[in-house]
Amino acid sequence: MDGRSEENINAKFVSDNQKFVSYCDFYDISTLAVDSQALDYIQKSSDKLDALITGYSEMGTLNREICSEFSNCECEAMGLGLVEK
């Protein structure tokens, strides 16, 4: 495959894959700097990456619920002088 064809395939993948673009934005990586081996790995591992993203999202929700449940306890403990502010 010539360099031009590979560039076109990479550009199509990037334009069709918002998660990949978000990942690159988050880590300040240029989507143009990612090579075809990395794209191939991402495509083959997409189910695992989706499961990882879903897991982190679910944990975020769970963490918010736990914090919400304990915030009243913390406020009460501070009011009683049991913990430092």
Asked which of 52-61, 65-74, 76-85 is least confident by mean pLDDT, the reply is: 76-85
Listed in sequence order, the residues at least 6 apart from 82 whose beta carbon sits closer than 8 Å to its beta carbon are: none
Kindly report whether the global pTM for this prediction surpasses the value 0.75: no
Report CA-CA distances (Å) from 68 to 64, 83, 84.
6, 18, 19
Give tens-digit pLDDT for 36-65: 777 777 778 878 878 888 898 899 989 999
Give tens-digit pLDDT for 5-35: 656 666 676 677 777 787 788 888 887 777 7
Cα–Cα distance for residue pair 74/67, rounded to 1 Å: 10
Cα–Cα distance for residue pair 2/57, rounded to 1 Å: 40
Give the relative orientation of helices 36-44 and 46-79 as an angle to the nearest 10 degrees: 70
The pLDDT, as a whole number, for residue 19 is 76
Q: List the chain domain ranges.
A: 1-44, 46-85
